[in-house]
Amino acid sequence: MKLINHYLPLLSLFILGSCNAQKSEKTTSLKNSYKGDFYIGTALSADQINEKNVKEDSLIHKEFNAITAENIMKSMFVHPAKDKYDFTLSDKFVAYGKKNKMFIHGHTLIWHSQLAPWMEQIKDSAEMKAFMKDHITTIVSKYKGSINSWDVVNEALNDDGTLRKSIFLNTLGESYLADAFKLAAKADPKVDLYYNDYNNEAPAKREGTINLIKKVRAAGGKVDGVGIQAHWRLESPSIEEIEKSILAYSALGLKVAFTELDITVLPNPWDLKGADVNQNFEGSAKMNPYPKALPDSIQTKLAERYASIFKLFLKHKDKISRVTFWGVHDGQSWLNDWPIKGRTNYPLLFDTKLKPKKAYYSVMQLKEVKQ
């Protein structure tokens, strides 16, 4: 008995050490590794918001500390009729974020795409103004103090930096941009307000984004940040152009967020760039080269690409507020159906079985070495 008592303290230390090691192993995650640098987010589908898959839900809790809704907060879903709002899923989305102590991002208030059919029929400027005021004020006021940041205006620019001829521009002129930001700020003065777009790391569109934000601010609108969607490719855009964009936007006093990060590994029809959801192309075997699995050589390229991107993000972590992946795992990615339906893409850090890919470890390893 004395012998056992003698070794009890050592046994306790061993058990405690084992528990701590297990605890440490369990808490190794993207969100913990990048804690103090920037939020690591993901976009949630309706099923994920409804917590239909226990394994997916567990992965989301473990790896991410910021969330964006993929679709359910877009106009066609949240405001289906002129006198009707449907907040069923957006309420669940916000509750999900609160329950899991996550940063909650609202996407999106004013966007030319995924409008409800009744919105597309608006031709009169007075009616459009009334719609914008009601839509923005109602939604932002409802989630005042619960949603941490909003994409106020999404994709208002063409790739050459000129204003997109959307239903909003056609009915109201470019004043709609400043009006949208003013309305959002009035509804919730403390929430961060973003302008969000794709390809706005490219020189012409970057310049257009800077001009847009300067004009909005000159007209009295509040803009806190710019969202770079980051629907990128294995070879482009260059790290240099991404860095120039971080520096240029930050120089305006803007927070920089990478809002919809994914990296396509598939051929790009007609060298298509960006994320215009209205473009579609018929498929071919040539355009879907990896229907069953991604070759190791491409896995390695994807890992190297993600590592170079996150190395840059860490270099400028003082300027970056959030990095959000557009989806939790490859099976969920919109890139499986865009711009060609039925392809198999592999753009994220987790595969269809929710297993971390080589790209995941390349991003994690950056935090294992001294910055």
- Residues in a beta bridge with 151: 107, 194
Distance CA(226)–CA(186), nearest Å, equals 19
**56 flagged as catalytic:** no
Contacts of 145 (CB under 8 A, 6+ apart): 188, 190
Q: Phi and psi (nearest 5°) for 161?
A: 90, -5
- The contacts of residue 227 (CB under 8 Å, 6+ apart) are 151, 194, 195, 196, 197, 257, 258, 259, 260
Within the chain, strands assigned E span: 39-44, 66-69, 103-111, 149-154, 192-197, 225-228, 231-233, 255-264, 320-325
Q: Can 120 be counted among the known catalytic residues?
A: no
Catalytic residue among 56, 63, 70, 155: 155
- Name the β-bridge partners of 39: 322
Helix H, strand E, coil C: the string for 222-284 is CCCEEEECCEEECCCCCHHHHHHHHHHHHCCCCEEEEEEEEEECCCCHHHCCCCCCCCCCCCC
Residues in Cβ contact with 308 at an 8 Å cutoff, skipping those fewer than 6 apart: 239
**Residues pairing with 219 in the sheet:** none
Residues 275 and 229 sit within 8 Å (Cβ to Cβ) = yes
Partner residues linked to 110 by β-bridges: 153
Work out the angle at residue 188's Cα, subtended by the Cα atoms of residues 182 and 191, and round it to the nearest 5 degrees. Answer: 95
Residue 118: which of 101, 104, 135 has the closest Cα? 135
Helix axis angle for 203-218 and 175-187, nearest 10°, is: 60
Distance from C-alpha of 230 to C-alpha of 224, rounded to nearest angstrom = 19
Q: Which residues are catalytic?
A: 155, 260
